[in-house]
Amino acid sequence: MRFSATATGGYTDAVELSIPVHLDVTPETTATGGVVEDVLAVEAVYLPDYVITGQGSLELSLQGSLVGALDEELAHFEPYKYESAVRIASRVVAAVAVQRASVGGLDAQSAEQLRRDVRNLILRQTNVSGWSWGRGWGWCESCRPDPVTTGWVLLALGEARDAGHDVPDYVIEGATTTIVGYTERETDVERPADPNEHAFLLYALVDASNDGREVSEEARAQAATILAIAQERRAQITNWGRAYVLLGLLGSGHSHHHWAVRAMLNDLTADTIASANGNHWEDERTPGSMHNGSVRITAIVLRALTEVDPQHPLIEETTRWLALGRAADRWKTTVERAQGMASLGAYAQLTGETRGVYDYSVLVNTDEVLAGRFDVPAGEYLDATSVALADLPPGEVSRVQFEREAGRPGRMYYGLNLRYVTPAAGIDALNRGFAVSHRYSLLDDPDTAVTAAAVGDVVRVTVTVIAPADRLFVRVEDFLPAGLEPIDPQLDIVSPWLREQLREDQAEALKASASGYCAPWYGWCYSPWDQADLRDDRLVLQASELPRGVHEYVYYARATVPGDFFVAPVQAEETYLPDVFGRSDSSRFTVLGGE
């Protein structure tokens, strides 16, 4: 748009403004992934005729290892002057994971720290056969042992024993007395025994009793008890409990084909929260439990899957999700981080991927789009590119070929994301991992949805995002109708009363959200959104972690230009799993002119 002015005397001036015009389109993504060993892999990509090829791309990514360099995680376990037994045990589990997964094993300093930690845990065993939380919480080392802490330390010592460290039999026997006594204690209906906790404790006992893959007599003695949990308490067992039941059944001598093993595996498979490039599991949170959180639950399930069936189809995508959680810094506690490292380490040991050194190439039809050499031990194991949709024939099938050098150790993982846009006018809502909507209302009537407003009216926009599971790296975009302009409360031109009204509306929305927590005496509310950007034409929300549940966000816009305008769908997606997305339906909004 160009505005010009001419005055007497030959004076002229002009200004030119550019107004962005967006196509009424909405993005969609289709994704897949796989693994290449000695035989090349081929994927077929079909580009529909109706796709607008001027936007979108085919994204290709390669990884020589999903696990990566686990030794970098040991920095999170630096020794403290006063440490709890749980932290020391977590460091033992983490160090053993690195020892198993890395080609060169542990460096000299980490190996010596591992030996000291094993000795420390052995010495901290109390006279009543357990470990206290001791120094980390300011309690004395002779405090009454906690059974769950005992189980975790026993797991750590079992890992250390399997890795070649000496753990005296009397240490295992003493802890066995504590665990068996706890699991066989009398309970009542008001405080019944937790079958998930029992499964965890019994697996810890079994794992520490066994010498490598050899099933010990002590482990066989628990076979009937673990089987009883699977048979009698199946309906009460959560996903993390099922994983420990599976591990316990195998560790106590049951066959991979035993009915209870297959039943637990089927239950876990049925509860998978899946996408094309990532699987995970969740449970209801239990206050005070160290097994809370989708990261730890998924890590335990991955460990069980690799033990029960190394060729299980869920393993690769579960590893992808766990590695993504690591990149998102979702490994919060030492226990969670250690469990994640242990599962990834076991997976790396199973696949041998950390030893991979090989050449690779990727062809799209007849064009080579990627080629190079991966050297995983040297840290060179990532590559990616994208192909514009204009370079793919619409209405035809394109052939994507992934190949790696045969006869060399390791594996190559690939991912394909087909991003495209489709016409949005009259389109229906779509839920492929998110249910999203937006609602307009006038400032003085929040309960009534409107599709029209007069010039000068302030419109309340409520964006609702429903996540059926925990999501990572979430991005939400809500485009405004062209006749509305967002109101940025950070600007000085915004009236104080309007700014205060917006703050109250946002606080109410957060209170009703799944992660809502407010401290009204401080005028503060927790928001899952790490960043909220108000731009000229849209709202953009971003969250590194979005808990499952319903989330609302409120912002204001002012009606400025009369007319009948297209309302684009609000969109949400996981940035690194773009096939997990959702959109609302499209609509129209009218801005009425003044007299």
Local structure of residue 393 (DSSP, 8 states):
-
Which uninterrupted H or E stretch holds 370? strand 367-375
Task: Report if residue 398 sits inside a domain.
Answer: yes
User: 327 and 469 share a domain?
Assistant: no
Report the distance separating Cα 18 and Cα 417, nearest Å. 33
- 272 within 8 A of 314, measured Cβ to Cβ: yes
Considering Cα of 389, then 390, then 391, then 396, what sign does the dihedral take? positive
Task: Report if residue 17 sits inside a domain.
Answer: no
Report the distance separating Cα 378 and Cα 380, nearest Å. 6
State how many domains the chain has.
Answer: 3
Tell me the CATH number at 161: 1.50.10.20
447 burial level (CB within 10 Å; 0-12, 13-18, 19+)? exposed
- 421 within 8 A of 28, measured Cβ to Cβ: yes
Report the distance separating Cα 324 and Cα 322, nearest Å. 5
In angstroms, the first-to-last Cα distance of the chain is 26
The tally of CA atoms less than 13 A away on the side-chain side of residue 334 is 24
Report the distance separating Cα 344 and Cα 356, nearest Å. 16
Check residue 362 and give its pLDDT.
97
Task: Report if residue 3 sits inside a domain.
Answer: no
Q: Among 421, 440, 464, where does a domain finish?
A: 421
Q: How distant, in Å, are the alpha carbons of 92, 112, 163, 275, 298 from that of 118?
A: 7, 10, 12, 40, 27
Check residue 514 and give its pLDDT.
64
269 burial level (CB within 10 Å; 0-12, 13-18, 19+)? middle
User: 225 and 119 share a domain?
Assistant: yes
Check residue 127 and give its pLDDT.
60
Each residue of 133-171: pLDDT tens digit?
332 222 346 566 778 888 898 999 999 998 889 988 888
Look at the block and give the residue holding tokens 């992808």: 320
Q: Determine the length of the chain.
A: 595
The three-class DSSP label of residue 360 is strand
User: 86 and 38 share a domain?
Assistant: no
Q: Which residues make beta-bridge pairs with 416? A: 32, 60
Give DSSP secondary structure letters for 142-159.
Answer: TSPPPHHHHHHHHHHHHH
User: 305 and 445 share a domain?
Assistant: no
User: 373 and 456 share a domain?
Assistant: no
Low-confidence residues in the chain, pLDDT < 50: 129-140, 521-522
The three-class DSSP label of residue 515 is coil
- 469 within 8 A of 546, measured Cβ to Cβ: no
User: 372 and 313 share a domain?
Assistant: no
Report the distance separating Cα 6 and Cα 477, nearest Å. 42
Task: Report if residue 363 sits inside a domain.
Answer: yes
- 494 within 8 A of 487, measured Cβ to Cβ: yes
Tell me the CATH number at 464: 2.60.40.690
Q: Among 421, 448, 478, where does a domain finish?
A: 421
Phi/psi class of residue 69: alpha, beta or left (left: φ > 0; alpha: ψ in -120 to 50)? beta
User: 392 and 282 share a domain?
Assistant: no
Check residue 260 and give its pLDDT.
94
Task: Report if residue 121 sits inside a domain.
Answer: yes
Tokens representing 360? 């690779």
User: 436 and 393 share a domain?
Assistant: no
Check residue 199 and give its pLDDT.
93
User: 155 and 285 share a domain?
Assistant: yes
Tell me the CATH number at 392: 2.60.120.1540
Task: Report if residue 13 sits inside a domain.
Answer: no
Task: Report if residue 302 sits inside a domain.
Answer: yes
Q: Among 396, 421, 446, where does a domain finish?
A: 421
Neighbours of 13 (CB within 10 A): 9
Check residue 101 and give its pLDDT.
84
User: 170 and 293 share a domain?
Assistant: yes
> One-letter amino acid identity for 385?
T
User: 360 and 350 share a domain?
Assistant: no
223-232 helix and 259-270 helix, angle to the nearest 10 degrees: 50
Query: Among 312, 317, 215, which Cα is nearest to 264's?
Result: 312
Query: Among 286, 205, 169, 206, which Cα is nearest to 239's?
Result: 286
User: 350 and 374 share a domain?
Assistant: no
Task: Report if residue 326 sits inside a domain.
Answer: yes
Q: Which domain holds residue 60?
A: 26-65+356-421
